[in-house]
Structure 1
Amino acid sequence: MTTPTSPSERPPVTHAQHLLDGTWSTDGVSSFDILDPSDGSLVGTVPVAGPEQVAAALAAAGKAREAWARTAPGERGAWLAGAALRVREAADELAELTRREMGKPLDDARGGVLAGAGTLAQYAELGPLHRGRALQGGWGATDLMVAQPRGVVAAVVPWNDPVAVACGLLGAALVTGNVVVLKPSERATHVAVRLAEILAEDLPAGVLTVLCGDGSTGALLAAAEGVDVVAHVGSTATGRSIAEATARTGAKTLLENGGNDPLVVDAGVDPAWAAAQAALGSFANAGQICTSVERIYVHADVAEPFLAALVERARTFAIGPLVDRRMRDAVHAHVAAAVEAGATVLTGGEVPDGPGAAYPCTVLSGCTEDMDVMREETFGPVAPVRVVASFDEALALACAGPYGLAATVLTADQEHAQRAWRELPVGTVKVNAVFGGAPGGAAQPRGRSGSGFGYGPELLDEMTTTKVVHLEPAPRS
């Protein structure tokens, strides 16, 4: 793991800016500071865009949309390929900003940047190939289904993987001929602004606009007339507010929101291997991944060695801090409430002294479904475990609840694997690996976790609308 920079080696404090019609600006109704979660030092100051800045952003996007939509798909793809190279070249800079704003270890942050560059390169190739269909009609007629850009896309992106997620939404939207208003998370604004600066380098003014701010800015943008798509990755509460706003404006919504992803550990598996998978799913990025393992159901036959191995893994698993103290307080509140309700802390579970927002990898046993740590998204390095008597019991519990993002099953039984992927009411099911997937894969969350495809060729479909065309010759006079 790369060693974080010392305070004397850190870049100077920066000031995030909006990008409005090709011009950078710090105007706004107020401002706030972002602190480094490792030590509480100042990263920079962020202006909060108000109604005036939102209106200016949408006006600039409106002016640019027609010309960008008429740009040849091959030209848009070539631009995106160049942008992918520039992001890759800036990987170290973007990774350091990510580390400073949200605490991700530097090597992990760099991996996220490179994943984002790879996504841009993928859409640079897929975009020009995105096509409609020709239909077989009458002999003298031509019938077409043509994909066209939707118009203005508001991309409201998260802090936990700010470059990779933004690259997915921006790449798919821009390559299909949409213009984008980017609203970064208030917890990771500077890295998103720097990414936008790199992407906007060769773009006409207004094709990519940036609005910095907090939740009030996002709410103004989501409710604004003139927005055709709101694409949001983040909390369920914010996603619900966006859905309510777009129900009034008619904008399309793409939502990847909270999850409560279960992990089922079946009888007959190697408990040490299962514990390694559980630790990776629960603790990677300090548990701050949309598809982190949030609750664990382990068969009684392997529970004792599994828990022992999981505790050992937790004590040696290297993580960075949580994104801020507000998040740490929320995570610890789930742990404390579970303990008060009868859960046992096997390791971790205490707020450390000192600056920053560190929290230890935590393993809880004796958890029940009435605990928030089992029924809601904790979004921290916490592995709550419930021992079950059978695979049927584990699967039934894993299927329960209002979220529908992802789930994992560890089993050596092929019948159990088949049952699991068919019955689990989630968008993504992983068997015998908590993370992984083929290139070009997409995800379609369900229930409280959102709606619409994220990533993959399917996201190009989401960013376009289909026009049906019937061409028939007029009779000769």
Structure 2
Amino acid sequence: MHTFDSLLAQITPSAGPTRDITDPATGEVVGQAPIHTVADLDAAVKRAASAQSDWAALGHSTRSELMLAAADAIDASAEALAQLLTREQGKPLNGPNARFEVGGASGWLRAAASTPLDSQTVIDDGESHAVLHYRPIGVVGAIGPWNWPMMISVWQIAPALRMGNTVVVKPSEYTPLSVLALVTVMNEVLPGGVLQVVTGDREVGARLSSHPDIDKLMFTGSTATGKAIIRSSADTVKRLTLELGGNDAGIVLPDVDPAAIAQDLFWGAFINTGQTCAAMKRLYVHDSVYDAVVDELAAVAASMPMGVGTDENNVLGPLQNKSQFDIVSRLVEEARASGARVVMGGNPDADGPGYFYPTTLVADVNNDNALVQEEQFGPALPIIRYSDVDEALAMANGLDVGLGASVWSSDRDAAREVAAQVEAGTVWINSHGGVHPMIPFGGVKQSGYGLEFGVEGLKALGVPQVING
């Protein structure tokens, strides 16, 4: 079991170049992260390749036992991990935030360790006999984001380890400490070389995606970076799982009770202060309930305290970095200048510390507005009127992304009929953004490809082999 101080001390480099990591809520220095180089990455990949055959040879049962022990280690140091995550990423301890994320990291690790993946007899008719197996791929490179650094890293690490691969993780430059700490705790249980972290800049990331000894790459992040990874991985024909940008749509049908759905709408859009790939980024509401939905949503939003994450009362935090703060500010001001109505929010405090942007609802905004068309990735939700469901579907499907979406209705069957026409990898009914370790998750269009979670997620971290005869 670690305390915050002991965990931070353990991940602080004793030698070599470092850089300060600051708290996005206060500007205070949280700790120092090592500045790794391409040479460091090459050495980590070599160690991973050397360890992989022994790790695979342990078999599913033993690997699962070690993964469950690693989950126990995470749970034992959960509070220290949550405190570090709050101070580095900015998300509050409470609500669906830091403590929730650490719990999700151990939960997903347990799920991957416990999910069976049996060989499949595809034909056995007396003349032919063929069995489909899944073998380890080799060394997996995992590039994670800054919004859910621990949990998404585990989404990549857990199925890779379960299937007999070794893993080299590159965390976001904004949140390296959280991932360093997570891996440090897990490596108190796992064999040496099986799981490693390299913290570095884009040059390190580019080398990871083109490295000849990386056999599979998993990436969660922007569509633009995903496209660059596809290009740089082509020469080595790497297997890829890409979870890219979303700009998810929600469609509210005219039969809803606005008060009944307001809180779930709020968290669908504003979980992690809107900094979630599958958060609801644009909301289409039928004209007959539009004003009531806006009013009820505003009432819920006004009750949600935002502030420094270590304050136990807060459930919303700052934007994680200045770049994202500037994007949200620009999009809201452009919407305001176009004539859209800022129901609440906007106007961040320019004098206070931290990258706090107030919870913002923007009504009476046109669908072609930049706040609707671009993924804002922050606490600003555009709410668009519609009068016909076909019109709403056309607007929801009008972008080149399709990670998630939602349909809201008192008639679940009617909602499912609409959901079937939405172009997204997951469409939720009367909720938005919830994920489950046994339910496959992935995007369509330019939101990426490949599935994570459950049996399909395990298969994506293996090489299919048919033994015929």
TM-score (norm 1): 0.90
Greater mean alpha carbon deviation, residues 271-280 or residues 322-331: 271-280
Give the match for residue 240 of structure 2.
Answer: 253
* Contact preservation (8 Å) 1:17, 1:47: no
Give the match for residue 121 of structure 1.
Answer: 110
Give the match for residue 215 of structure 1.
Answer: 202
* Contact preservation (8 Å) 1:132, 1:147: yes
Tell me which of 162, 175, 178 is aligned to 1:191.
Answer: 178
Give the match for residue 397 of structure 1.
Answer: 395
Give the match for residue 325 of structure 2.
Answer: 328
Tell me which of 93, 102, 110 is aligned to 1:106.
Answer: 93
Give the match for residue 384 of structure 1.
Answer: 382
Give the match for residue 3 of structure 1.
Answer: none
Give the match for residue 364 of structure 1.
Answer: 362
Give the match for residue 449 of structure 1.
Answer: 447
- 2:178 alignment partner, SS class: helix
One-letter identity of the residue aligned with 2:390: D
Deviation at 1:446, TM superposition (A): 0.8
* Contact preservation (8 Å) 2:145, 2:220: yes
One-letter identity of the residue aligned with 1:450: G
Tell me which of 191, 195, 199 is aligned to 1:204.
Answer: 191
Alignment partners' CA distance in 2, 1:13 and 1:82: 18
The equivalences for 1:11-410 within 5 A come to 11=5, 14=8, 27=16, 31-107=18-94, 108-126=97-115, 129-136=116-123, 143-318=130-305, 319-352=316-349, 353-410=351-408
1:265-303 CA distances to partner (integer Å, 9 max, x unpaired)? Answer: 111211222332322222221101111110011111111
One-letter identity of the residue aligned with 1:225: P
Q: Given the superposition, is the C-alpha separation of residues 136 and 435 from structure 1 closer, same or farther in structure 2, using an over 3 Å criterion? A: closer
Q: Given the superposition, is the C-alpha separation of residues 316 and 80 from structure 1 closer, same or farther in structure 2, using an over 3 Å criterion? A: same
The alignment yields a C-alpha RMSD, in angstroms, of 2.2
Alignment partners' CA distance in 1, 2:24 and 2:10: 18
* Contact preservation (8 Å) 1:402, 1:447: yes
Alignment partners' CA distance in 2, 1:371 and 1:25: 50
Alignment partners' CA distance in 2, 1:26 and 1:203: 24
* Contact preservation (8 Å) 1:283, 1:317: no
Alignment partners' CA distance in 1, 2:177 and 2:442: 29
Greater mean alpha carbon deviation, residues 42-51 or residues 165-174: 42-51
- 1:79 alignment partner, SS class: helix
One-letter identity of the residue aligned with 1:150: I
Aligned residues: 454
Alignment partners' CA distance in 2, 1:13 and 1:463: 30
Deviation at 1:66, TM superposition (A): 1.4
One-letter identity of the residue aligned with 1:50: T
- 1:148 alignment partner, SS class: strand
Alignment partners' CA distance in 1, 2:402 and 2:125: 45
One-letter identity of the residue aligned with 1:221: L
* Contact preservation (8 Å) 1:17, 1:26: no
Alignment partners' CA distance in 2, 1:73 and 1:13: 30
Deviation at 1:137, TM superposition (A): 5.4
Alignment partners' CA distance in 2, 1:173 and 1:429: 26
Alignment partners' CA distance in 2, 1:258 and 1:339: 24
The percent identity for this pair of structures is: 33
Deviation at 1:416, TM superposition (A): 3.4
One-letter identity of the residue aligned with 1:371: N
Deviation at 1:438, TM superposition (A): 5.3
Give the match for residue 474 of structure 1.
Answer: none
- 1:83 alignment partner, SS class: helix
Alignment partners' CA distance in 2, 1:133 and 1:462: 16
- 1:290 alignment partner, SS class: coil
- 1:294 alignment partner, SS class: strand
Alignment partners' CA distance in 2, 1:150 and 1:51: 23
* Contact preservation (8 Å) 2:108, 2:437: no
Alignment partners' CA distance in 1, 2:377 and 2:224: 14
Deviation at 1:216, TM superposition (A): 2.5
Tell me which of 434, 445, 449 is aligned to 2:432.
Answer: 434
* Contact preservation (8 Å) 1:16, 1:46: no
Q: Given the superposition, is the C-alpha separation of residues 26 and 120 from structure 1 closer, same or farther in structure 2, using an over 3 Å criterion? A: farther
1:100-129 CA distances to partner (integer Å, 9 max, x unpaired)? Answer: 011111122111111111111111211xx3
* Contact preservation (8 Å) 1:146, 1:468: yes
Unpaired segments ≥5 residues, structure 2:
306-315
Q: Given the superposition, is the C-alpha separation of residues 433 and 192 from structure 1 closer, same or farther in structure 2, using an over 3 Å criterion? A: same
TM-score (norm 2): 0.91
One-letter identity of the residue aligned with 1:344: R
Give the match for residue 311 of structure 2.
Answer: none
1:122-153 CA distances to partner (integer Å, 9 max, x unpaired)? Answer: 11211xx3222234458587533221010010
One-letter identity of the residue aligned with 1:410: W
Deviation at 1:361, TM superposition (A): 0.2
Deviation at 1:312, TM superposition (A): 2.1
Deviation at 1:13, TM superposition (A): 11
Alignment partners' CA distance in 1, 2:159 and 2:237: 21
Alignment partners' CA distance in 2, 1:148 and 1:246: 21
- 2:104 alignment partner, SS class: helix
Alignment partners' CA distance in 2, 1:121 and 1:68: 18
* Contact preservation (8 Å) 2:4, 2:80: no
1:196-227 CA distances to partner (integer Å, 9 max, x unpaired)? Answer: 01111233322112101233221111111111
Q: Given the superposition, is the C-alpha separation of residues 439 and 157 from structure 1 closer, same or farther in structure 2, using an over 3 Å criterion? A: closer
